[in-house]
């Protein structure tokens, strides 16, 4: 399928998730089957402008992950231009602009989700990105800041901006992540208003929710975030549902958790091999990655709350390995 000028093998995208969809995680999810596009979580343009070395670890070996998107967050034009310039030498496929982050930090800095309140600035940032980037540019946004009243104006901006595609998460910035509020109507509306492909995002957790999302909104592709933390096979399972109409059964067992952790460790090792500019030791990085995922992988297992508490307290790989050997 095509998203603007970008060719993707399928219409499923792994969402950018800060401190979750890390390089090992992106590699890991792809071990189960191909994913159309994977996304590097937001990089602050101000940080790139002043301390570019500090983001090197998020970009190394990125060429091995193609097709891959890199996301920038910021509202300062000079910082945006110098970030685009800095990124030029890396081999990635899409430059994504964040206009959805609801964090206090982003709103205070008038960036991310705040841009949906400051549409003039959003337009300038998008046009600047299109002008300076040699890669296709996309925008990732929410349905509005406090409400969806501006959606037509936003659609006009998107149409004028020259970007290649739009990703929309069906919540306002104010809604943050509250589950009851996913708004497919506004996604459907913006899809009918813009002339570029639209990626829909929010609360997709199996084949049926993916199918309903597509049918109701008519979007071109789907982005999946949190569901992949519990179930990294979700992309392959949804693709299977699309082709065969069968929802695969989840295997929730300790042996599955152990198998996944082993595979995850291989992905961390692949990523760490010959890496540079890590702010912590390889051992510490590995522990953080494996501990976080061990907690997620055991979420589908009944009565594993105390196990997860123990996992969260492990101080080294040996302790973690002992706890997750499940012998
Ligand atoms: C821990 C976490 C970190 C996130 N980091 C980012 C980010 O860096 N950039 C971004 O555009 N969205 C970020 N998001 C939002 C997700 O990309 C996605 O839009 C949201 O989780 C809704 O999709 P889902 O219901 O499939 O999870 C983050 C979400 C979570 C849960």
The pLDDT tens digits for 148-170 are 999 999 999 999 999 999 999 99
Would the pLDDT of 83 be above 70?
A: yes
Claim to verify: residue 294 and residue 158 sit in the same structural domain: no
Residue where a domain stops, chosen among 244, 262, 283: 244
Protein residue with least CA distance to atom 28, ligand 1: 17
Claim to verify: residue 188 and residue 237 sit in the same structural domain: yes
Return the H-helix or E-strand segment holding 234. helix 234-244
C-alpha to C-alpha distance for 137 and 130, rounded to whole angstroms = 6
Claim to verify: residue 12 and residue 140 sit in the same structural domain: yes
Would the pLDDT of 38 be above 70?
A: yes
The reply to whether 274 falls in a domain is: yes
CB distance 203 to ligand 1 below 6 Å: yes
Claim to verify: residue 97 and residue 174 sit in the same structural domain: yes
Contacts of 95 (CB under 8 A, 6+ apart): 69, 70, 72, 84, 87, 129, 133, 135, 136, 137, 138
Burial of 33: CB neighbours in 10 Å, binned 0-12, 13-18, 19+ = middle
| % of the chain with per-residue pLDDT over 90 | 91
pLDDT of residue 171: 96
Backbone dihedral angles phi then psi of residue 205, each to the nearest 5 degrees = -135, 0
pLDDT, tens digit (0-9, with 9 covering 90-100), for 99-144: 999 999 999 999 999 999 999 999 999 999 999 999 999 999 999 9
The CATH code of the domain that includes 186 is 3.20.20.70
Q: Which structural domain range is residue 195 located in? A: 2-244
The reply to whether 177 falls in a domain is: yes
pLDDT of residue 302: 87
CB distance 41 to ligand 1 below 6 Å: yes
Task: List, in sequence order, every residue forming a beta bridge with 37; answer none if it has no partner.
Answer: 13
Claim to verify: residue 67 and residue 182 sit in the same structural domain: yes
Claim to verify: residue 137 and residue 196 sit in the same structural domain: yes
The reply to whether 249 falls in a domain is: no
User: Which ligand 1 atom sits nearest the alpha carbon of residue 169?
Assistant: 19
User: Which ligand 1 atom sits nearest the alpha carbon of residue 182?
Assistant: 25
C-alpha to C-alpha distance for 128 and 217, rounded to whole angstroms = 30
User: Which ligand 1 atom sits nearest the alpha carbon of residue 203?
Assistant: 25
The reply to whether 144 falls in a domain is: yes
Claim to verify: residue 167 and residue 37 sit in the same structural domain: yes
The gap from C-alpha 250 to its chain's centroid, in whole angstroms, comes to: 23
pLDDT of residue 322: 93
Instruction: Tell me the best of 13, 14, 15, 177 to mutate to test the pocket of ligand 1, counting ligand atoms within 8 Å of each CB and taking the most.
Output: 15
Q: Count of CB atoms within 10 A of residue 291's CB? A: 19
The reply to whether 48 falls in a domain is: yes
Burial of 311: CB neighbours in 10 Å, binned 0-12, 13-18, 19+ = buried
Helix, strand, or coil here: 44?
strand
Which two tokens mark 317? 């790989």
Protein residue with least CA distance to atom 13, ligand 1: 17
Would the pLDDT of 327 be above 80?
A: no
Residue where a domain stops, chosen among 221, 244, 267: 244
> Is residue 267 among the annotated active site residues?
no
CB–CB of 71/41 below 8 Å?
yes
The count of structural domains within the chain is 2
CB distance 176 to ligand 1 below 6 Å: no
């Amino acid at each position: 399928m095509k998203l603007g000028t970008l060719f993707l093998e399928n219409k499923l995208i792994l969402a950018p998730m800060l401190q979750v969809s890390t390089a090992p995680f992106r590699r890991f999810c792809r071990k189960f089957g191909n994913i159309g596009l994977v996304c590097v979580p937001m990089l602050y343009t101000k940080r790139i402008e002043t301390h570019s070395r500090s983001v090197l670890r998020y970009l190394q070996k990125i060429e091995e992950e193609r097709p891959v998107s890199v996301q920038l967050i910021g509202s300062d034009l000079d910082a945006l231009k110098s970030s685009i310039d800095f990124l030029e030498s890396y081999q990635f496929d899409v430059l994504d602009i964040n206009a959805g982050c609801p964090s206090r930090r982003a709103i205070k800095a008038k960036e991310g989700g705040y841009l949906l309140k400051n549409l003039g600035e959003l337009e300038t940032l998008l046009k600047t990105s299109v002008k300076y980037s040699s890669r296709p540019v996309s925008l990732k946004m929410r349905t509005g800041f406090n409400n969806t009243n501006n959606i037509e104006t936003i659609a006009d901006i998107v149409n004028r901006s020259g970007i290649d595609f739009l990703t929309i998460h069906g919540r306002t910035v104010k809604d943050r992540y509250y589950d009851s509020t996913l708004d497919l109507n506004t996604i459907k509306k913006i899809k009918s208003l813009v002339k570029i492909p639209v990626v829909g995002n929010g609360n997709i957790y199996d084949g049926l929710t993916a199918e309903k999302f597509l049918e109701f909104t008519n979007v071109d592709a789907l982005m999946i975030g949190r569901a992949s933390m519990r179930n990294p096979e979700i992309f392959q399972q949804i693709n299977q549902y699309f082709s065969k109409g069968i929802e695969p059964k989840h295997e929730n067992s300790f042996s599955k958790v152990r198998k996944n952790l082993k595979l995850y460790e291989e992905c961390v090792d692949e990523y760490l091999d010959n890496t540079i500019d890590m702010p912590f030791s390889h051992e510490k990085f590995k522990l953080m990655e494996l501990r976080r995922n061990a907690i997620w992988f055991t979420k589908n297992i009944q009565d594993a709350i105390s196990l997860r508490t123990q996992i969260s307290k492990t101080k080294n790989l040996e302790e973690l390995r002992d706890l997750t050997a499940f012998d």
